Amino acid sequence: MQKIEFTVYGAEQKCASCVHLPSALETKDWLEAALTRKFPHENLSFHYVDIEAPQTEQEKELAEAILNEEYFYPLLVVNGDILAEGNPSLKVVTQRVEAILSASSHQ
């Protein structure tokens, strides 16, 4: 079974253009609830990375890019690829999951 890994990057303080949106952690929790309900039998994992305290090299690189304003947060990464910045669209995320599942079932 294909594992699909979601990582949401963000900070406790919302970005200036995101004050009316959920926090990055709330975004991670919302995506996790919605996607595990839609894909209950899939191997999905969800992680939150505080851009002020990244742990791995990849996390440090993306956190630095966000802090340098190359990306907005929350930043959603799926299986290592950036999928969305700011407020992710559930439709877009669902389409990516379906594409990954479809590709893995054809291998």
pLDDT digits (tens, 9 = 90+) for 11-53: 877 556 566 677 889 999 999 999 999 999 999 999 999 999 9
CATH number of the domain at 3-105, please?
Answer: 3.40.30.30
- Number of residues assigned to the chain: 107
Above 90 in pLDDT, residue 86? no
Which of 3-12, 15-24, 48-57, 96-105 comes out lowest in average pLDDT?
A: 15-24
Asked whether 57 and 71 are in contact (CB, 8 A), the reply is no
Helix (H) / strand (E) containing 8 = strand 3-10
pLDDT value for 23: 84
pLDDT value for 94: 96
How far is the C-alpha of 14 from the C-alpha of 22, rounded, in Å?
A: 8
Q: What is the mean pLDDT of residues 63-70?
A: 95
